[in-house]
Amino acid sequence: MKKARKTGPRSPMSDRIFGKRRRTSNSKQLNFLQYIVSMLKTNSKAAVVLPDNVLFEGGTGEKIRRKLLETSDVHTILRLPTDIFYAQGVKANVVFFNNTPKDGRFHTKGVWFYDLRTNKHFTLKTRQIKSEDLHDFIDCYHPENRYDRREGV
């Protein structure tokens, strides 16, 4: 017989964001994402590093992502090269979003993907990612008017 896991009290803030029947997951990354969203104040901004499986797995992960798209303005995903944060071969992303008022409206209008993986190879020891490797992303990002983004040159 499996022993029930003690989960502790739910945050009222988290209940407002993800509903009384908050999705739970065994994935620490999904729980971390839920925690970040629950702690953000309205109209604040966040950028969270997450592995690919969090963005693309089905089941509970899909439901949590769908709720994030509904309740926040997810606007940018920076696809990072493999091998720079996690174990070898793990692909990571930076998800940028703004926390929006919980007014029942769908706030994500479109998600801009920037792929830093193509033709790039970095390692934790011999070829670390540097700020100059992100210059094209920063030039294209246009944080002051993200609807005026362009392709890299």
Q: What is the pLDDT of residues 35-67, one digit of tens each?
A: 999 899 998 999 999 888 887 888 888 888 888
How are beta strands 112-115 and 72-79 bridged, if at all?
A: parallel
Residue 124 or 80, more confident: 80
Q: What is the pTM of this model?
A: 0.77
In a domain, 16, yes or no: no
| pLDDT exceeds 90 at position 120 | no
Q: What is the mean pLDDT of the chain?
A: 78
The number of C-alpha atoms within 13 Å of 137 and in the hemisphere containing its C-beta is 17
Do residues 8 and 16 make contact, with C-beta atoms less than 8 angstroms apart? no
Give the chain's domain count: 1
Residue 127 placed within a domain? yes
For residue 24, tell me if it sits in a domain: no
* Cβ count near 42 (within 10 Å): 10
The domain of 57 spans 31-144
pLDDT on residue 88: 72
- Domain-embedded: residue 52: yes
Provide the pLDDT for residue 150: 67
Q: 116 in a domain, yes or no?
A: yes
Section 132-151 average pLDDT: 80
Contact 18, 24 (CB under 8 A): no
Beta strands in the chain (DSSP E): 45-51, 72-79, 92-99, 112-115
Please report the pLDDT score of residue 86 as a whole number.
Answer: 60
Q: Which of the two residues, 107 and 8, has the higher pLDDT score?
A: 107
Cα 82 versus chain centre, distance: 16
pLDDT at 29: 86
CATH of the domain at 125: 3.40.50.150
Kindly state whether residue 8 falls inside one of the protein's structural domains: no
